[in-house]
A = this chain, B = another copy of it.
Amino acid sequence: MDEPLNLVLFSGTDDRLQAAAVLTAGAAALGRPVNVFLQYWALDAFRRDHIDRDHGLAPEAGTEGREHVDHLRQAGQVGWQEVLRQAKELGPVDIQACSLSMDLLGIEEPDLDPLVDGVEGVTAFYLNAGAGQVVFI
């Protein structure tokens, strides 16, 4: 697999972001390049002053799901922010903000957490993705 793994992150809830971070770290550990493209509510979650907040869970998590997540966190589970930071040390993980979503949310580049490497349009995303898998989360 020389082709990169390409993740379009749309959802900004902690459960989906955790799933995305694990998929990213797993691919990076295998030496695969990973391109992450942040849109909408996922982009919002990467704002410098938002990133360490509680971003909620999908509605279907329910009270029981919430308890499981809180319990694991209290037991020391690392959050998606830290999983992504570690993934960047394992291999080439490039995280780009979608320029259209930046406009939508009124975000400027300095507002973004240092995890984000830049801002690009959808065309650049496709060119970097090549024939690699594209996963929308």
What is the minimal beta-carbon distance from A127 to any residue of chain B, in angstroms?
8
A39, CB-defined interface residue at 8 Å:
yes
Once the chains bind, are B60 and A13 in contact (CB under 8 Å)? yes
Per-residue B-contact encoding for A49-86, CB less than 8 Å = 1, 0 else: 00000001011110001001100100001000000000
Known contacts A1-B131, A59-B59, A131-B1, A100 near B69 by CB under 8 Å: no
In the complex, 30 of the A-B residue pairs with CB atoms within 8 angstroms, ordered by the A residue number, are: A1-B130, A3-B131, A5-B134, A10-B15, A10-B16, A10-B19, A11-B60, A13-B60, A15-B41, A19-B39, A19-B40, A22-B100, A23-B122, A25-B122, A26-B123, A26-B126, A27-B126, A30-B123, A30-B126, A32-B126, A40-B61, A40-B65, A41-B65, A56-B60, A68-B105, A69-B104, A77-B104, A133-B133, A133-B134, A135-B135
Measuring CB to CB, which residues of chain A are less than 8 angstroms from any residue of chain B?
1, 3, 5, 8, 10-13, 15-16, 19, 22-23, 25-27, 29-30, 32, 39-41, 44, 56, 58-61, 65, 68-69, 72, 77, 100, 103-106, 121-123, 125-127, 129-137
